[in-house]
Amino acid sequence: MTILDAFDRMMEHTARRIAQRSSRRGILARLGTALVGGAVLPLLPVDKTRAKLAHASEFAKTAQTTDPTKCNYWRHCASDGYLCSCCGGTVNVCPPGTYASPTSWIGTCINPDDGQAYLIAYQDCCGKDSCGMCFCLGTEGEMPSYRPELNNDIVWCFGAPSMVYHCSSQVLIGKA
Amino acid sequence: MTILDAFDRMMEHTARRIAQRSSRRGILARLGTALVGGAVLPLLPVDKTRAKLAHASEFAKTAQTTDPTKCNYWRHCASDGYLCSCCGGTVNVCPPGTYASPTSWIGTCINPDDGQAYLIAYQDCCGKDSCGMCFCLGTEGEMPSYRPELNNDIVWCFGAPSMVYHCSSQVLIGKA
Amino acid sequence: MRVYAMRFALLSIGAWLSGALVEAWAQPATPIPAQMPPQAALPTQEDHPTAVLPEPSPRWIYVLEPVFPYLVASKMWILDGDDLSIKGMVNGGYLPNAVLSHDKSRFWIAETYWSRGSRGTRTDVVTAWDTKTLDPLGEVILPNGRFLVVPKKHNATLSHDGRYLFSFNMDPAFSLSVVDVNEMKYLGELDTQGCSLAFATGTNSVASICPDGRFVHLTFDASGKLTKTELSEPWFDSQNDPVFEHAAVHRPSKRAFFISYDGWVYPVTLDGMPKVGERWKLQGPGDEEWRPGGWQLAAFHAASNRLFVTMHKGGKWTHKQAGDEVWVFDVAAKKRVHRLPLDHHSPTIAVSQDEKPLLFALTETAILMSYDTTTWQKKAERSALGISPWLLYTFGE
Amino acid sequence: MRVYAMRFALLSIGAWLSGALVEAWAQPATPIPAQMPPQAALPTQEDHPTAVLPEPSPRWIYVLEPVFPYLVASKMWILDGDDLSIKGMVNGGYLPNAVLSHDKSRFWIAETYWSRGSRGTRTDVVTAWDTKTLDPLGEVILPNGRFLVVPKKHNATLSHDGRYLFSFNMDPAFSLSVVDVNEMKYLGELDTQGCSLAFATGTNSVASICPDGRFVHLTFDASGKLTKTELSEPWFDSQNDPVFEHAAVHRPSKRAFFISYDGWVYPVTLDGMPKVGERWKLQGPGDEEWRPGGWQLAAFHAASNRLFVTMHKGGKWTHKQAGDEVWVFDVAAKKRVHRLPLDHHSPTIAVSQDEKPLLFALTETAILMSYDTTTWQKKAERSALGISPWLLYTFGE
């Protein structure tokens, strides 16, 4: 899988860099543990999303699939911020004059219509100061910022032409 | 009086400038009317403050002289904005890190303790964004901005090192 | 990595859509370093484009919010007037003024920035915005600054041909900065002789209000050089009954209505040297307790000859008190034709210029209301439109 | 004119009081043109000086407000903790972090600006402020930027000797920017190997938390060059029970308490490579429904060995829910000693470090409360402290 490849490459890259910069003993040995030991596996995205399904159902109990301008819309289970759907955009269209971020953190939400879990990319729309409409705070599966790929406090505008947060999109990736 | 001198000088200066830049006929004649005709006298500050005394008493009816953090403090009869008294300053001390403006518009308030009318200089404290505490809007004797010396919407930071409005002072000039 | 490449392709389209000029403004797109968490760039099933608006409707309402007490962070909201849904927004600087183009392609915001938010180096600019993409198209520096005041509509306006933008300046010398918005070029300052605000009177002329109740009328040439300065006779009593700054102005018909603290209406034709018609009074017999008041307190619908004014019960010096009712006048008959009690008292109103106009009323508590002026029914109400929306604009006014 | 001369003399004194360095920041004082309305500069009977604060009290509370949704206009409020009166405030940039000095003479704000508010050229800086005059004393540019995130306290901190300020950066490469605040000089970046946040562990060392539940510990030399990178063993389960970022840290005693979503307390000594003590749990028998949660959810009073944590009733993934109570623990006995029900539920708390400490609780609705921890009585409550105050700081913590 592409993503696992990418993750492996990142870890290898990190390992090489630690090796280059740190005392040869100790660090590399410790990092070796991190790479081959039990600790690394739970970090893999597929495992992670699976681990969260049980919890995601709490939000889904009262979720609806008709009005994306409400906090209980099914895709918003872990969205944090102002809904682009209230700001001149939709769940996957950025408001006029803003930039769709190519990066995001990832949540897992259950669509109550089919009971299936889906991966949602919480990509921000960027380049204007906060929209300020329809603030929603979903925290299903949300982790502290030292786990950035699962944190919703971060300005997810990396790779966009501006790092100014405007509103939060909820873009469908696919089934979890 | 110094102020009348200053005012006269300003009017003369304006007249000269109009004369220099405009067609000789017409403008100068019209302006002559403005300078010597009836229209100019009501503009003089002493006349103006006297004219307003009758109205200022409306505010004074419910004014108090003990708590400058309340909108009905006697000096606030025509203050517009955030009271410096609520922002780390007092009626005549600017909050830390702000600049006392050397300029202001002028209001006339009655001190209910002695029933006397006083001129109040509504000098702003400048250099930080709005304090935001204790907003009061007094409008006794307040005029549109084309009469700037009697308007309270203007950022009265002219002559200060910054034109950013922080809060409103109410500095005593003397008896009206 | 393939994933990143896909995302950047999408981004490039976005940048192209938003117009080449934007590039000069934006940070260069930064490549996503390999250390990014890999989930961050998972391919999505859905596209994620940026919306583009159609040509503005005359029934859209543009709401300028200076943002008290966070004045360095102003916004302009764009809403559909019928349901008050948000179409989009743009950011502005300190104590901004907005000007809408005649052809609906642009609006401009005259605004002030400091290099460190509220401190550092000051820069005054007129920024041009595309009305469809809501992208900034460029800016013109105002070297002599701007009038910094709680935003008033008539601090900035456009000449009759839509070419020159006038931005009033009191630094504290009184002048109008002239910007050629076709060329996006600053032309210079017109000395207003101590008079204030800007009311366009032609292609190359503009008027201001003087402290003694006159107009000053300024004519300039294509280079922005003042060629003529005229003073009118005093036409209102600026000492005892001044006119509100927020005259109801309708640019296409060159008509304006100035309203005094006491309720006198001064009809003015803004075509060359302003011509002031016979004044008449808002209040009739039995209306003695009522006064006009608020902020942007008057609006004029040209096609139906209707003037709308916010009214409240109050004594002298209550000129900033919000209106409990909107009174509607036939300006030909000089007669009130309707009284509209407002659900929430409002200092500011506007009216759309289409055939069945919407009346908008804005409260001091960030509530915007939209009324159908054919039925006088409320069509929509929206609360929490920011924290301090202040001025209303419509295209065609 | 004499009047103007007097005013400028006064102004000069103000400028002198506020410190020479300010000059570099401020606009040059502009002479008041003759066209200014003459009343504008009437001589006043009273002086109009600028207040200067005494040395900060440990009972003062510093409140950082990022200002949602006007994030380019942040503020830091300074209040007297006993009566919650305002002592003053300063402005900040986008998503700021604050750091208070050890010697009470300074605080710093790491912040981000754009040349046109929310667009244009980005600049990241650490700005130094004088705690008495509340004047900016200078700034250091952060060439590699800052981590832009809803403000978290441990995004920035100070080395044990108070000389190096660490500002976490995810651009999205992970590093700590090091600023020598004595010299007001940027030294460079320390690579955190994908780990986040900053916990000072000495004069020349700092730790971050890694995604897999380890510390990375970084040592650097006087030039800011990384000399050693160490990784700890994983000390918490980052997959199933992560620790909150807002550990309660007390710098003078080098003690910290990390709290997990489920309520485990990990005592950590921040002196060289972090040493993690035996964990213990906040909830005892009968407390099963309760969880820690909020934002800045924990505070530690070192002299009395007391740990304060905001608690609410809720299930898994309610980690950001505000606390209905503050639970107080004796960390030596690992035992709860008090439950304080809050008048308004609060995600954020802080405690003063004096002998009879004040406990501060801040709500999501801009209410700040101050409690006497000797009597558990509420001393003061203040509503409308801006619109979105977020983080609390005290000197000596």
The DSSP code sequence of chain A is -HHHHHHHHHHHHHHHHHHHHS-TTTHHHHHHHHHHSTTTGGGSHHHHHHHHHHHHHHHHTT-BSS-TTSTTBGGGGG-EEEBGGGTT-BTTBBPTT-EEEEEEEEEEEEETTTTEEEEEEEEEEESSS---SSEEE--TT---TTSGGG-SSB---TTSS---EEEE--EEEEE-
> Using an 8 Å Cβ cutoff, are A67 and A73 in contact?
yes
Amino acid code (one letter) for A36 = V
Q: Do B94 and D51 touch (CB under 8 A)?
A: yes
Query: Residue D283 has what pLDDT?
Result: 98
Q: Are residues C276 and C163 in the same domain?
A: no
Query: Residue A40 has what pLDDT?
Result: 25
Query: Residue D44 has what pLDDT?
Result: 82
Q: D-chain residues within 8 Å CB-CB of C122? A: 27
Q: Are residues C134 and C251 in the same domain?
A: no
Token output for D16: 């002198």
The 10s digit of each residue's pLDDT in B105-144 is: 889 999 999 999 999 999 999 999 999 999 999 999 999 9
Chain C interface mutation, best of D7, D95, D116, highest count of C Cβ atoms under 10 Å? D116
| D306 found inside a domain | yes
Whether pLDDT at C34 is above 60: no
Q: Do B156 and D42 touch (CB under 8 A)?
A: no
Query: Residue D36 has what pLDDT?
Result: 65
Q: Are residues C226 and C245 in the same domain?
A: no
Nearest Cα of chain C lies from the Cα of B22 at a distance, in angstroms, of 6
Token output for A154: 């971060």
Whether pLDDT at D25 is above 70: no
Query: Residue D205 has what pLDDT?
Result: 98
Q: Do A45 and C38 touch (CB under 8 A)?
A: yes
- Per the model's pLDDT, the better-predicted residue between C8 and A151 turns out to be A151
Query: Residue D39 has what pLDDT?
Result: 74
Q: Does D51 touch chain B (CB under 8 A)?
A: yes
User: Distance between CA D51 and CA B95 in Å, rounded?
Assistant: 5
Other CB atoms within 10 A of residue D242 CB? 23
- Per the model's pLDDT, the better-predicted residue between A53 and D336 turns out to be D336
* Catalytic choice (A47, A74, A113, A124): A124
CB within 8 A of A132, min separation 6: which ones?
A: A82, C386, D68, D69, D70
Whether pLDDT at D391 is above 90: yes
Distances (CA, A) of D240 to A39, A55, D243: 12, 12, 10
CATH superfamily to which A3-175 belongs? Methylamine/Aralkylamine dehydrogenase light chain (2.60.30.10)
| D366 found inside a domain | yes
What DSSP assignment string belongs to C219-271?
EE-TTS-EEEEEEPPP-S-TTTSPBPS--EEETTTTEEEEEBTT-EEEEEE-S
CA D208 to chain centroid, in Å, comes to 17
Distances (CA, A) of C154 to C165, C172, D190, D272: 12, 18, 54, 64
Chain A interface mutation, best of D65, D118, D155, D230, highest count of A Cβ atoms under 10 Å? D118
Nearest Cα of chain C lies from the Cα of B17 at a distance, in angstroms, of 8
What residues does D371 pair with on adjacent strands? D359, D378
Q: Are residues C325 and C305 in the same domain?
A: yes
Whether pLDDT at A50 is above 70: no
Q: If you average pLDDT over residues A125-129, what whole number do you get?
A: 98
Report the mean per-residue pLDDT for chain D.
91
Which of C70, C95, C315 is the closest to B58 by Cβ? C315
User: Distance between CA D1 and CA C34 in Å, rounded?
Assistant: 66
Predicted confidence band of residue D22 (pLDDT cuts 50, 70, 90): very low
Whether pLDDT at A42 is above 50: no
**Closest of B112, B103, B83 to residue B156, by C-alpha:** B103
Work out the angle at residue D317's Cα, subtended by the Cα atoms of residues D313 and D319, and round it to the nearest 5 degrees: 65
Give the start-end residues of each E strand in chain B. 80-82, 99-111, 116-126, 135-137, 165-168, 171-175
Q: If you average pLDDT over residues A89-112, what whole number do you get?
A: 95
Token output for C318: 């209550």
Look up the CATH number of the domain holding residue C331.
2.130.10.10
Determine whether A105 is an active site residue.
yes
The phi, psi pair for A27, rounded to 5°, reads -60, -55
User: Burial of A96 by CB count in 10 Å (0-12 exposed, 13-18 middle, 19+ buried)?
Assistant: buried
Which residue of B lies nearest to D137 if distances are taken between CA atoms? Answer: B97
| C48 found inside a domain | no
Place of tokens 């999109």: A169
> Using an 8 Å Cβ cutoff, are B156 and B105 in contact?
yes
Q: Does D91 touch chain A (CB under 8 A)?
A: no
The 10s digit of each residue's pLDDT in D261-278 is: 999 999 999 999 999 999
Q: D-chain residues within 8 Å CB-CB of A153? A: 149-150, 152
User: Total structural domains in chain D?
Assistant: 2
User: Distance between CA C224 and CA A154 in Å, rounded?
Assistant: 49
Q: Does D4 touch chain B (CB under 8 A)?
A: yes
Whether pLDDT at D38 is above 80: no
Q: Which helix (H) or strand (E) holds D70?
A: none
Q: D-chain residues within 8 Å CB-CB of A157? A: 148
Q: If you average pLDDT over residues C20-44, what whole number do you get?
A: 53
Determine whether A124 is an active site residue.
yes
Residue C318 three-state SS:
coil
| D307 found inside a domain | yes
Q: If you average pLDDT over residues A109-136, what whole number do you get?
A: 96
User: Distance between CA A105 and CA A123 in Å, rounded?
Assistant: 7
Whether pLDDT at C236 is above 80: yes
Which residue of A lies nearest to D215 if distances are taken between CA atoms? Answer: A146
Whether pLDDT at B44 is above 80: no
Query: Residue D230 has what pLDDT?
Result: 98
Query: Residue C6 has what pLDDT?
Result: 30
Alpha helix segments (H runs only) across D52-131: none
Q: Are residues D246 and D276 in the same domain?
A: yes
Query: Residue D251 has what pLDDT?
Result: 96
Which residue of B lies nearest to C195 if distances are taken between CA atoms? Answer: B146
Query: Residue A44 has what pLDDT?
Result: 29
Predicted confidence band of residue B14 (pLDDT cuts 50, 70, 90): very low
Domain final residue, candidates C234, C256, C287? C234
Q: C-chain residues within 8 Å CB-CB of B164? A: 71-72, 94, 114, 118-119
Q: Are residues C378 and C257 in the same domain?
A: yes
Other CB atoms within 10 A of residue B27 CB? 20
Report D:125-154 residues touching B (Cβ under 8 A). 132-135
Count B/D contacts: CB-CB distance under 8 Å: 169
Q: D-chain residues within 8 Å CB-CB of C112? A: none
Distances (CA, A) of C331 to B16, C299, C305, C306, D120: 41, 12, 6, 6, 47
Q: Which residues of B159-172 are buried (b: 16+ CB within 10 A; e: fewer)?
A: bbbbbbbbbbbbbb
Q: How many CA atoms lie within 13 A of C332 on its CB side?
A: 5
Please tell me the pTM assigned to this model: 0.88
Q: Are residues C378 and C241 in the same domain?
A: yes
Query: Residue D280 has what pLDDT?
Result: 98
User: Distance between CA C160 and CA C252 in Å, rounded?
Assistant: 8
Q: If you average pLDDT over residues B23-52, what whole number do you get?
A: 30
Whether pLDDT at B18 is above 70: no
Chain D interface mutation, best of C70, C76, C112, C142, highest count of D Cβ atoms under 10 Å? C70
Whether pLDDT at C20 is above 70: no
Domain that holds residue C372: 236-397
Query: Residue D173 has what pLDDT?
Result: 86
Which residue of B lies nearest to C217 if distances are taken between CA atoms? Answer: B27
| C20 found inside a domain | no
Q: Do A154 and D118 touch (CB under 8 A)?
A: no
Query: Residue B49 has what pLDDT?
Result: 41
Q: Are residues C100 and C229 in the same domain?
A: yes
Query: Residue A8 has what pLDDT?
Result: 34
Whether pLDDT at B17 is above 60: no
User: Distance between CA C366 and CA D394 in Å, rounded?
Assistant: 35
User: Distance between CA B55 and CA C233 in Å, rounded?
Assistant: 28
Domain final residue, candidates D211, D234, D257? D234
Distances (CA, A) of D260 to A145, D194, D235, D238, D246: 14, 21, 11, 9, 10
Domain final residue, candidates D214, D234, D254? D234
Q: If you average pLDDT over residues D365-373, what whole number do you get?
A: 98
Q: Are residues C165 and C297 in the same domain?
A: no
Predicted confidence band of residue D282 (pLDDT cuts 50, 70, 90): very high
CB within 8 A of D176, min separation 6: which ones?
A: D166, D167, D168, D169, D189, D190, D192, D198, D206, D208, D218
Portion of chain B with pLDDT greater than 90, in percent: 65
CB within 8 A of A56, min separation 6: which ones?
A: A77, A108, A109, A110, A117, A140, A141
Q: Does D15 touch chain B (CB under 8 A)?
A: yes
What DSSP assignment string belongs to C4-54?
HHHHHHHHHHHHHHT-GGGGGTSPPPPP--TTS-GGGGPPPSS---B----
Q: What ipTM was assigned to the predicted interfaces of this complex?
A: 0.88
Whether pLDDT at B54 is above 70: no
Residue D172: cis peptide before it, omega within 30 degrees of 0: yes
User: Distance between CA C105 and CA C143 in Å, rounded?
Assistant: 26
Q: Are residues C211 and C242 in the same domain?
A: no
- Interhelix angle A27-36/A2-21, nearest 10 degrees: 170
* Catalytic choice (A105, A113, A114, A129): A105
Q: If you average pLDDT over residues C32-60, what whole number do you get?
A: 84
Count B/C contacts: CB-CB distance under 8 Å: 129
Residues of C near D (CB-CB distance < 8 A)?
Answer: 25-27, 30, 32-33, 35-37, 40, 67, 70-73, 91-93, 113, 115-123, 125, 127, 136, 139, 171-174, 194, 387
Alpha helix segments (H runs only) across D44-192: none
Whether pLDDT at D244 is above 90: yes
Token output for C106: 């642009």
* Catalytic choice (B8, B74, B80, B124): B124
Report the mean per-residue pLDDT for chain A.
75
Q: If you average pLDDT over residues B169-175, what whole number do you get?
A: 95
Give the start-end residues of each E strand in D142-236. 156-158, 164-170, 174-180, 185-191, 196-200, 205-209, 215-220, 226-231
Q: Are residues D210 and D200 in the same domain?
A: yes
> Using an 8 Å Cβ cutoff, are B104 and B121 in contact?
yes
- Per the model's pLDDT, the better-predicted residue between A106 and B4 turns out to be A106
Query: Residue C276 has what pLDDT?
Result: 98
Which residue of C lies nearest to D125 if distances are taken between CA atoms? Answer: C116
The 10s digit of each residue's pLDDT in D98-111 is: 999 999 999 999 99
Which residue of A lies nearest to D197 if distances are taken between CA atoms? Answer: A146
Whether pLDDT at D146 is above 90: yes
Q: Are residues C194 and C245 in the same domain?
A: no
| C170 found inside a domain | yes
> Using an 8 Å Cβ cutoff, are D255 and D300 in contact?
yes
Q: If you average pLDDT over residues C313-327, what whole number do you get?
A: 97
Query: Residue C171 has what pLDDT?
Result: 81
Query: Residue D35 has what pLDDT?
Result: 61
